[in-house]
Amino acid sequence: MTAHDRATGILTIDLDAIADNWRRLAARAPGAEAAGVVKADGYGLGAAAVARSLRQAGCKTFFVATIDEGIALRPIVGDARILVLGGVLPGTGADFIGHGLIPVLNSLEQIGLWSGFAQAAAKTLPAALHLDTGMNRLGLDRAAIDLVVDDRRRLAGIDTMLVMSHMACADEPEHGKNPEQLAAFQSMSESLALSTPRSLAASSTIFLGPDYHFDLIRPGAALYGLNPVPGQPNPMRPVLRLASRILQVRDVDTPQTVGYGASHRFKSKGRVATVAFGYADGLFRSLGNRGFGVIGGIKVPVVGRISMDLTTFDVTAVPPEHVHAGAMLELIGPDHDCDQLALEAGTIGYEVLTALSRRYLRDYIGGNG
C-alpha cells in the first residue's frame, strides 16, 4: 500500500492557488511590492512548499515569526529577503548574520542589540523598524520614536530598509481605528525622517484601499484562501481540502446516545459514521454537537463530543452507497470552507489552519511541492 492508501486523513493543498492568490493581492496594490507571510509553517500548510511556490511566482520578500523559521526557510528561497517579526534576542546576532536574516526591531532594547551586533561585526546590518500605532503589542511607541529622533546614534550600524506597523481592525472596514492608525503611521514614520520604504497592509488592510498600501504589502491569511473581507464574497481562490476516512457505520435508535458524556440523544432511527479525526488532529472540541462535514455532497452534523482521535457524524440523510468504512468525509472543501468551520467552532480561520495536525497526509498539487 502507498502512504496515500494508508492515510486516514488527507490534507490536499493547491500550491497553484496560493501563487494565484499572491498575484491577485499584488494586483490590488500596483506600485507596491508584495511579500509573502509564511510563519507558523506556512499557516499550517508547509512553509517549504508554500515559499517555493511563491518564490517561483516572483515573491522576493518573506516574513516569518521566529529565527528558527527563518533559518529553515533560507535554503528554500535562495537570495530572497527574510524578515523575522519577533526581532532579535540576546545572543542571536551570529545566527541572524550567518543566515542572512533581517530582524524586525520592536523596541529600543532590540535596536540597541542589533546596533551592538553591527558594530561588533564592523559592518552595516539591515533591519526593519516596527512602529506601534495602536495595537499595544510589539513595536516602538511614540515616546521611543522621539528618543530615536533625538539621538540618531541609536541606529548606528543599522541600515533601516523598512518601516512598518500592523492594523488592529482591518477586517472591519468601517471601524474608526483604521483611519486613526493610518494617521498615526504617517505621522510617526515621517517623524523618523528616513528615506525608507513603508509597510502597513497585511491581508485585510490591502482591501481598505490605496492609502494603506504604501511601498510593501504583507499578505498572510488571504494567501491560504481565508476570506480577507468577512461578510462579503471571498475574493481568494480556495486552497485546501481536508477529508478523513469513515471507520465504522452503525444504526441507532431512540433513546440511544453517542460519545462521551452522552451529550447527544437520538430521537428517532438514524445512522452514525465514526470518522478518523479528532482534537489531536486540530478538530476543536467546541465543534461537538455543532460542527458539520460533507459526504456525497450532503452536509452532515457532528453528533456528540469530539474525541481525541474520533468524531461521530449523523449520516442518516446520506444515501447508503456513500457511507461505508473507508469512504471519505470532507471537513474542509468547496461545500464547507475553513471560515465556515471556524465560525462553527467559535474561532477564526487562522486558528483552524495552524492547528492542522501532522498526522494528516499532506498531498500537494500544482507547483513543485
Bridge pairing between strands 102-105 and 81-84: parallel
CATH code at position 61: 3.20.20.10
Q: Among 103, 101, 102, 94, which Cα is nearest to 121's?
A: 94
Same domain, 253 and 131: no
Give the per-residue pLDDT at 367. 84
Residue at a domain's end among 224, 249, 266: 224
Torsion of CA 244, 248, 252, 257, to 10 degrees: -70
Count of Cβ atoms closer than 10 Å to residue 81 Cβ: 19
Same domain, 161 and 248: no
Domain with 264 in it = 240-336
What length does the chain have? Answer: 369
CA distances from 209 to 167, 198, 226, 305, 326 (A): 14, 15, 19, 43, 48
Give the per-residue pLDDT at 2. 87
- Residue 161 is assigned to a ligand binding site: no
Query: In which band, very low, low, confident or very high, does the pLDDT at 369 lie, cut at 50, 70 and 90?
Result: very low
Same domain, 93 and 22: yes
Q: Catalogue the active-site residues.
A: 39, 260
| Number of domains within the chain | 2
Same domain, 219 and 159: yes
Give domain status of residue 348, yes or no. Answer: no
Same domain, 143 and 195: yes
Tens digits of residue pLDDT in 2-23: 888 888 899 999 999 999 999 9
CATH code at position 271: 2.40.37.10
Same domain, 59 and 184: yes
Give domain status of residue 211, yes or no. Answer: yes
Give domain status of residue 142, yes or no. Answer: yes
Same domain, 255 and 136: no
What rounded mean pLDDT belongs to the chain? 95
Give domain status of residue 233, yes or no. Answer: no
Give domain status of residue 132, yes or no. Answer: yes
CA 357 remoteness from chain centre: 15
- Residue 137 is assigned to a ligand binding site: yes
Q: How far apart are CA 75 and CA 48, in angstroms?
A: 9
Tens digits of residue pLDDT in 184-197: 999 999 999 888 99
CA distances from 271 to 249, 292, 300 (A): 7, 15, 11
Which residues on adjacent β-strands are paired with residue 272? 250, 314
Give the per-residue pLDDT at 368. 62
